Structure 1
Amino acid sequence: MKNFLLVASLLFAACTATKGNSVPPQSPAVFILNADVLSQKKAAINVKDAALMPAYKKLLKDADKALNEGPFSVMEKKNNPPSGDRHDYMSLAPYFWPDPIKNDGLPYIRKDGQTNPEVKDYKDKEYMPKMCELVHTLGLAYYFSGDEKYAAHAAKLLEVWFLNADTKMNPNLNFAQAIKGVNNGRGAGLIDARHFMNVVDAIGLLQGSKAWTKADQTGMQKWFADFLNWMQTSSTGKDEMNAKNNHGTYYDALRLSLALFINDKEAAKSIVQNVTKRLDAQMDEEGKFPKEMERTIALHYNVFDLHAFFMVASMAGKNGFDLWHYTSPSGASLKKGFDYFHPYISKQKEWTGQQIKPFDFEEGYPLLLTAAERYGCNKCRDEIKTLAGLDAEKMRENLLY
């Protein structure tokens, strides 16, 4: 009886706590985020669960700040892309610098792990991830609070970047991560678009808002369908599809997100199968990624790659494939990868590989939290509390896992 009353009170609170605002659906159409967990957290927030209030209040504070940012557009850049069409996205390769022995510095030369500050002159690279992050924050704030102001601003950001004829980005990355003196863009530039995965989930969080219309939904599905087609048919996109490192993993993670968003189940199934082949080829017998071990910030790139595989696993489950417990013909598995890097991302062991910059341990939080859910890592949550210290109770991850 007590359990029944508790459930009833949660359901009642979920229906009444946002009176005066539109009420988002309890189970949002998300693909990387866990819809069931979000529904449970929303119900708990509605009854003011003390354990979640610090993280919830921090989310709303971030969302209130986001209300004053943007909108952003590719039309704001000062640099014209080679096409002459300012609607085309453009950026510079971050690790390429002027050659000091050449008068004009051309062609640029590679300094792995060292970001050329010149990339900041190309505002598309700055504005696109910022827009995606803000939309994600606003989408979460709307879903948990039901406050229309968050959905309205998220919709405005999306409209300006993707949908408005005067301000929208063309659905291609032909001129992403160019190397001066070498090319006008390259396949590796598709990594810039990984942030679109946040947009896809954010759109799912906006369902039910009066600010998000059927025309908006249709427009975004059309834009992402066009972008997915460009990814899979252009020479630039095909080049990235053949990447043997984290670039290839993020390529598949992004196109899986888009395939699910446009409800192309057959494409999604094919992409997941391709990811199993990537895992088999990329991971060694210990669970690390040799291509990422070659990098000057090797721990970062290994964790970065494993995170992409984790995101694919979250999405693959929507299509009925359990990548969490899959083992490839060579013995590669996500569990093996996590087990190898676990002591390094939790500070149990000191990383001895290359890492010319300090590792940001927050990068490992999603892996630790996911392992707590998927692999029964009972100490993972406590390890995050130790790493995060006083900020642990305010972490957004408390609302997502």
Structure 2
Amino acid sequence: YYHASEESMNALNLKNKKTDKDRLTWMIHNTTVLALAHYMTGRTDYAETAARNVRTWFLKWKTRMNPHLVNCDIYYNNTSPRLRGIYEMKDIYMLLDAIRILERGNFLNDEEQSELRDWFRDYVFWLESSEEGKREYTAPDHRGVFFDVQMVSIASYVNDTAKMLWYLDRSMARLRGQILTEQDLTHMGMLVNEIEESGGKRRCEHCEENQVLALQAWAILSRLGRSAGRNIWNAYPVDDISNLCHASYHAIPYFRQRAQCDADITTFNHQRWWPLWLEARQHCEHVRQFKHIINSWMSPVSQNPPRNPYDMPFTFGHQEAIAPFWNLGLHFDPQQAATLPVGDKPAPAISQLGKASNAISTQELARQRLQAVRSARRLRRGNA
């Protein structure tokens, strides 16, 4: 619940953004961290606190959240719900993993587990039947993908395999509408709905944020789909490179020289690209052939990602869709990391290049694209 004025926030003691949205996201992250801490240390007090959070938020009648978002994202003096509230539930996938840890340790009894699944079934029913849910489902950008993240993770939790597979297949179909694959080489892989609005109008206020959220949503879905036999990273190849790999190459600023959205320069945490850089290198064979690019507009501490994932931050902002301790369990090969090609000179910002240099840059990008296609074909022939 939001309040339009500073006075109203002071009156209700809701300064520092202490809204239901913030309480929800902090509850999800704190409960996830507590469950992981129990899993790693065996300490029962961590699990008991996490279970108490779950009971308070979902089960106790006096404190629980209703299984809908009818009143989400309402402003003071404006009672019309907005779609963004559904998007704020995007991190539910990590909470459900935490709940599974608690259930395996019997920190939630059988009756509580049954009630939790009933709650999430009711929430899914509201998402699928409400006007708010239907509009979010049809969102053409990262919000639509995060809708699928919610549906797939919840369907898996409540053991609805048919629904889980349906939404996984539906999410894969989104790839064709969200990633350009039939344009010239310069725009191949563009996450068009994160950068442009309909009619070609540029939407650059937060396109850095939008692109990283879109790829993060796809990365989450790929992990959810892997257990169900759906390989999103290999879906819809164009020139032997999948749609998602094309998008990763186009968006992630360590694979090529590109510009940044002006409004995001001082506010965006570039290290949020690091987990996606690792993920793309794991699944996209062609990007491993390139030297690591340094874009000069990035913050100095973000320009060179550590080769060891355990040298990267374990946690990010609680609204950035990256699970806490996301890198636990990742394999690290020091010998392979030592041979990773790294660029030794920063690439100039595109905004600083003249027209002639831009033309050369476009030609170079096309050359790199062609090289990537050829490399992918050689790798596929070698693996055949």
TM-score (normalised: structure 2)? 0.67
CA distance in 1, matches of 2:20, 2:97: 21
Matches within 5 A, 1:129-278: 129-179=25-75, 183-278=79-174
User: What is the Cα deviation at residue 319 of structure 1?
Assistant: 1.6
Cα distance change on mapping 1:282 and 1:120 into 2, 3 Å: farther
Q: CA deviation at 1:120?
A: 5.2
8 Å CA contact 1:92–1:176 kept in 2: the answer is no
Write the deviation string for residues 344-368 of structure 1: whole angstroms up to 9, x where unpaired.
1x49645333433432123223212
- The code of the aligned residue for 2:244 comes to L
Quick one: distance in 2 between partners of 1:347 and 1:287?
13
Aligned length: 288
CA distance in 2, matches of 1:181, 1:290: 35
TM-score in terms of structure 1 length: 0.64
Question: CA offsets, 1:130-172, max 9 Å, x none?
Answer: 0000111111111122221111111011110111111100001
* One-letter identity of the residue aligned with 1:339: Y
Pair 1:340-2:261 in alignment: no
2:193 pairs with 1:291: yes
What is aligned with 1:55?
none
- 8 A contact 2:128–2:134 mirrored in 1: yes
Q: 1:280–1:179: structure 2 CA closer, same or farther, 3 Å change rule?
A: farther
Higher RCO, 1 or 2 (CA under 8 Å, sep at least 6)?
1
What SS does the corresponding residue of 2:89 show, helix, strand or coil? helix
1:359 is aligned to 268
Cα deviation for residue 369 of structure 1 reads 2.5
Structure 1: distance between partners of 2:88 and 2:15? 12
1:23-172 to 2 correspondence within 5 Å?
91-92=1-2, 123-172=19-68
Aligned partners of 1:245 and 1:291 also within 8 Å: yes
- Summarize the Cα distance change of 1:173–1:199 in structure 2 as closer, same or farther, 3 Å threshold: same
Any idea what the Cα deviations from partners look like across 1:199-243, whole Å, max 9, x if unmatched?
A: 111112224324232223222211111111111111111111111
Q: Output aligned runs, 1:362-381, within 5 Å.
A: 362-376=271-285
Structure 1 Cα separation of the partners of residues 307 and 229 of structure 2: 35
The match for 2:322 is: none
SS of the equivalent of 1:135 reads helix
Asked if 1:302 corresponds to 2:211, the answer is yes
Whether the aligned pair in 2 keeps the contact of 1:151 and 1:212 (CA below 8 Å) is no
The CA deviation at 1:121 is: 5.5
User: In the TM superposition, what is the alpha-carbon distance from 1:122 to its structure 2 partner?
Assistant: 5.8
Q: Is the 8 A contact 2:204 2:261 kept in 1?
A: no
Per-residue deviation at 1:198? 1.5
Q: Which residue of 2 aligns with 1:399?
A: 328
- The verdict on how the C-alpha distance between 1:301 and 1:148 changes in structure 2, with shifts beyond 3 A counting, is same
SS at match of 2:73: strand
Structure 1 unaligned residues grouped into runs of 5+: 1-90, 99-117
Distance in 1 of aligned mates of 2:314 and 2:119: 35
Q: Unaligned regions of 5+ residues in structure 2, if any?
A: 6-13, 182-187, 196-202, 293-302, 316-324, 331-384
Contact in 2 for aligned 1:279/1:333 (Cα 8 Å) = yes
Once the two structures are superposed, what CA deviation does each residue of 1:260-295 show, in whole Å capped at 9, x if it has no partner? 111111111111121122211111232122221114
Helix, strand or coil for the counterpart of 2:72? strand
Distance 1:373 1:229, change over 3 A: same
The CA RMSD measured in Å over matched residues stands at 3.3
Rounded to whole Å, the distance in 2 between the matches of 1:146 and 1:120 is 35
Task: Give the conservation status (yes or no) of the 8 Å contact 1:173–1:189.
Answer: yes
* Match of residue 227 from structure 2: 318
User: Cα distance 1:394–1:244, how it changes in 2: closer, same or farther (>3 A)?
Assistant: closer
Q: Cα 1:267–1:354, aligned 2, differ >3 Å: closer, same or farther?
A: farther
Match for residue 305 of structure 2 among 384, 387, 400: 384
Checking the alignment, whether the CA contact within 8 Å between 1:139 and 1:154 is kept in structure 2 is yes
Residue by residue, what CA displacement relative to the aligned partner does 1:97-153 show, whole Å, maximum 9, x if unpaired? 78xxxxxxxxxxxxxxxxxxx895562111000000011111111112222111111
Stretches of 4+ moved more than 6 A in 1?
328-332
**Structure 1's 232 and 119: CA in aligned 2 closer, same or farther, altered over 3 A?**
farther
- Distance 1:353-1:123 versus aligned 2 partners, 3 A rule: closer
Partner amino acid, structure 1, of 2:190: K
| Aligned-partner SS, 1:355 | helix
Deviates more, 1:153-162 or 1:193-202: 193-202
Pair 1:277–1:119, CA change in 2 (3 A): farther
Deviation at 1:178, TM superposition (A): 2.6
**Contact 1:288–1:337 (8 Å) recurs in 2:** yes
1:58: which partner in 2?
A: none
